[in-house]
Amino acid sequence: MTILAIETSCDETSVAIVRNGREVLSNVVMSQVDYHKEFFGVLPELASRKHLEFIDISIRKAFEEAGLTIKDIDRVAVTFGPGLVSSLLIGVNTAKTISYFFDKPLLKVDHVEAHLFSPMLENDVPFPFIGLVVSGGHTNLFVVNDFFDIKLVGHTVDDAVGEAFDKVSKILGLTYPGGPVIDKLSKEGDEKRFLFPLGAIEKDYDKYNFSYSGLKTSVLYTVKKLGSLSKQDIKDICASFQKSAIDVLYLKVKKLVEETGIKNVAISGGVSANSYLRKKLLSDNEIRTFIPSPKYCTDNAAMVGLVAYFKPVEANLSDDVYPRIAGIVKGKRKV
């Protein structure tokens, strides 16, 4: 089965053609990051305007790269949420139009589920596994028994971890997105110089939840206290912040591994590109970690094509987009 997959939930316009779930024939990603840089975050109205501009080009390119035409497509899949409503609408309306005009069944995909299963594009990830989805919009911990049995066991109660990287980068006068630059500068910094709080809540009922707003505020106060920052100060703050932000992800994954006995861990989303997180997980001999290559860590439509194949959810032309984690993983919340 050949699926045309579309992803426009945030600021990447992406179109992929995926055969039988894992054979990626094309995966076009048109990033808008240069347009949003000056705002230090994604500006929703600008994002939707750019999606509108990029969507046709991306579809044409995806067909060209795959060497196929619409006649070769069996189904059209698209992200319905969670994400920015005005961005989601561009992808969903495009997919609905193609589905209606060319008479192809329409499938709906949840963006967080797409990230969650994205390590399967390149690896044979055995069920059950522990899934950690960490991006600019999400910090979620799951127990995944199969495609249809997914339990959300932990989530952030305020900022997402990637958002914390972006905000700290802004506080330090660095660039957007913050993750890659903080990751890089941390390598030359002293992670023990500043003692920032862990990005977590320690109460028992919240044992798998995360909280990043206190950590971000702590960095802000430290910067204010120091007054002017030397280059070394910035590197030390980056390393100390990164340690607090990432250690908690590792600690909670470890706790869940111990509690469930599940040793397979799949991480995904933009923050899974973090070198310190990768090192910590990959050097732990008690767990088996699966991480997508960088092109599948950030938003892409190939992961949408994968989920649509293994977990087909039919959509109607009247189905609406949804902004928050609610759609398909709804009702599985433990906390």
> Given the rule CB under 6 A, which of 56-64, 177-185, 201-209, 258-266 is the region that contacts ligand KG4?
177-185
Min separation Cβ 303 and ligand KG4, Å: 10
Min separation Cβ 137 and ligand KG4, Å: 4
Report if residue 7 touches Zn ion, rule: CB under 5 A: no
Q: Binding Zn ion by CB under 5 A: which of 7, 163, 233, 299?
A: 299
What CA–CA distance (Å, rounded) separates 26 from 226?
49
* Nearest residue to 251 via CA among 216, 202, 194: 202
- Residue closer to Zn ion by CB (options 60, 324) is 324
Which residue in the block uniquely carries the two structure tokens 């928050």? Answer: 324
Q: Parallel, antiparallel, or unpaired for β 106-110 and 129-134?
A: unpaired
Min separation Cβ 199 and Zn ion, Å: 19
Residue 21 partner contact from Zn ion, ligand KG4, none using kind-dependent CB cut-offs of 5 to 8 Å: none
Site string for ligand KG4, 151-170 (x = CB under 6 A): -----------xx-xx----
DSSP string, 238-288: HHHHHHHHHHHHHHHHHHHHHHH---EEEEESGGGG-HHHHHHHHT-TTSE
What CA–CA distance (Å, rounded) separates 128 from 113?
15
Q: Binding ligand KG4 by CB under 6 A: which of 119, 154, 199, 270?
A: 270
- Residue closer to ligand KG4 by CB (options 180, 312) is 180
Q: Binding ligand KG4 by CB under 6 A: which of 113, 183, 233, 236?
A: 183
Q: Which residues contact 163 (CB under 8 A, 6 or more apart)?
A: 136, 137, 212
Min separation Cβ 175 and ligand KG4, Å: 10
Q: How many CB atoms lie within 10 A of CB 317?
A: 11
Report if residue 136 touches ligand KG4, rule: CB under 6 A: yes
* Nearest residue to 138 via CA among 175, 108, 121, 163: 163
Q: Which residues contact 198 (CB under 8 A, 6 or more apart)?
A: 215, 244, 247, 248, 251
Phi, psi of 68 (to 5 degrees): -125, 170
Report if residue 244 touches ligand KG4, rule: CB under 6 A: no
Q: Binding ligand KG4 by CB under 6 A: which of 81, 131, 154, 179?
A: 179
- Residue closer to ligand KG4 by CB (options 63, 210) is 210
Q: Binding Zn ion by CB under 5 A: which of 14, 86, 118, 135?
A: 135
Q: How many CB atoms lie within 10 A of CB 92?
A: 25
Cα dihedral sign, 272-273-277-278: positive
Report if residue 178 touches ligand KG4, rule: CB under 6 A: yes
Report whether 291 contacts 58 (CB < 8 A). no
Residue 91 partner contact from Zn ion, ligand KG4, none using kind-dependent CB cut-offs of 5 to 8 Å: none
Alpha-carbon separation of residue 22 from 67, 177, 260 (angstroms): 17, 29, 28
Report if residue 269 touches ligand KG4, rule: CB under 6 A: yes
Report if residue 144 touches ligand KG4, rule: CB under 6 A: no
Q: Which two tokens stand for residue 88?
A: 């989601």
- Residue closer to ligand KG4 by CB (options 105, 294) is 294
Q: Binding ligand KG4 by CB under 6 A: which of 271, 303, 307, 308?
A: 271
- The residues binding ligand KG4 (CB under 6 A) are 10, 135-137, 162-163, 165-166, 177-180, 183, 269-271, 273-274, 298-299
- The residues binding Zn ion (CB under 5 A) are 135, 299
